Structure 1
Amino acid sequence: MAQINPYIHFNGNAEEAFTFYKSVFGGEFAMIMRFKEMPGVPEGSFSESEADKIMHIALPIGESDVLMGSDTPQSLGKHNENETRSKISISAETRDEADKLFKGLSEGGKIEVPIADSPWGSYFGMFRDKYGIEWIVDFDPKFDGRL
C-alpha cells in the first residue's frame, strides 16, 4: 500500500525544527544531507551561508511514517510561513500519547483549538508550532490509532 509522508520546508531553520521534533517524537534521523554534500555538485555552488543548510532530512516516526523536510534555497526566495494552511495530522494510539505530543509540539507555538473531547467523539486539538507548521493531534478510541 502507498504511504503518505509529510514533507515540510523551512526558511533556514530546518535543522533546529527537526531537532525539536526529534525531542518530542524520539528516534534518530534516517538521513541528514546538507546542500554542500549533494553528489555531483561542484564545491562553491552554494553561498557560504547556504552550504550548511539542510537539503534533506528524515525523521522516522512510529513503524511506517517518516517526517521529511528541507530548507528552501535562497535562490527560490523566502516563503510566507503564515500562509501555509496545510496541517500535519497525528493519530495518537492513546489519550496520554495525544497529550504528550500536543504539549511537546505546541510549546512556544500558538494553540488554535485546545486539546479536549470533541463533539464527534475523539480527543482533538490543533496548533501552529513555533516554526509556523500547523498540526492536528487526535485520539479516537474507536480506531486503532490509524485512520
Structure 2
Amino acid sequence: MTLGLTPYLFMDGNAKEAINFYEQALGARVQFVQSFGEMPENPDFPLPEAAKDRVSHALLKIGESDLMLSDSFPGHSPQVGNQVTICIQSSDKERSHTIFEALQQGGRVQMPLQETFFSPAYGTVTDKFGVTFHIFTEDAQP
C-alpha cells in the first residue's frame, strides 16, 4: 500500500499566473490543467460567468513531487495564512540559491538563505501569492 501527501493551494483567481510563475521559479512541469468552464455542466449548480476561466484543478510536477492548485469561486476567496507551508529540499546549494532568488521576486523574505547548524543553505520566503516556502539544502556528507 502506498500513501502520499500532496500540497494543494487554493488561489483567488490567479492560479494561471501562479502556474506560470512556478514553471519559471521552480522548473515545474504542468501535468494537467482544467478550467471550471471545461467541466461538465450541472443544472443544479449553474456556473457563474466569472468562474469559467478560473482553474478548477491543476497538477504540477516539481522534481519528483506533485503540487496541486485551483482557483476559488468568485466571492469565495481563500484565507491567506501560514497554516500550510512547503519545504523544498535540494542537495545542490546553487540550486537552492536559484530557487530562493526566484521565489522572492514580488514576495518577501522571512529568513534569508544562509548557513545554519543543520543546513549549508536554509531560508524561508513567502512568494507573491502568499505561499511560504522553506528552502532546505541537505548537508553533503564526506
Q: TM-score range by the shorter chain?
A: 0.7 to 0.9
TM-score normalised by structure 2 residue count: 0.88
Cα shift at 1:47: 1.5
Cα deviations across residues 28-51 of structure 1 (Å, max 9, x unaligned)?
A: 311000001113535x92111111
2:139 aligned residue:
141
Secondary structure of the corresponding residue to residue 100 of structure 1? helix
Aligned to 1:68: 68
Q: Which runs of 5+ in 1 are unaligned?
A: none
Q: Which consecutive segments of 4 or more residues in structure 1 shift more than 6 A?
A: none
Q: How does 1:120-135 map to 2 (within 5 A)?
A: 120-135=118-133
Q: More helix by proportion, 1 or 2?
A: 1
Aligned in 2, Cα 1:59/1:121: closer, same or farther, shift over 3 Å? closer
* RMSD (CA atoms): 1.9
> Which residue is equivalent to 2:78?
79
Q: Which region of structure 1 is more displaced relative to structure 2, 25-34 or 88-97?
A: 25-34
DSSP 3-state at the match of 1:29: strand
Matches within 5 A, 1:41-120: 41=42, 45-62=46-63, 64-74=64-74, 77-81=76-80, 83-120=81-118
| Residues 21 and 121 (structure 1), Cα distance of their counterparts in 2 relative to 1, 3 Å cut | closer
What is the CA–CA distance in structure 2 between the aligned matches of 1:16 and 1:124, rounded to whole Å? 26
1:118-145 deviation per Cα after TM superposition (whole angstroms, max 9, x unaligned): 13344200011001011100102247xx
CA shift digits 1:17-70 (9 cap, x unpaired):
11100112225311000001113535x9211111110000111111x3111100
The code of the aligned residue for 1:57 comes to A
Aligned-residue sequence identity (percent) comes to 26
TM-score scaled by structure 1?
0.85
Number of corresponding residues: 139
| Letter aligned with residue 107 of structure 2 | G
Equivalent AA in structure 1 for residue 116 of structure 2: S
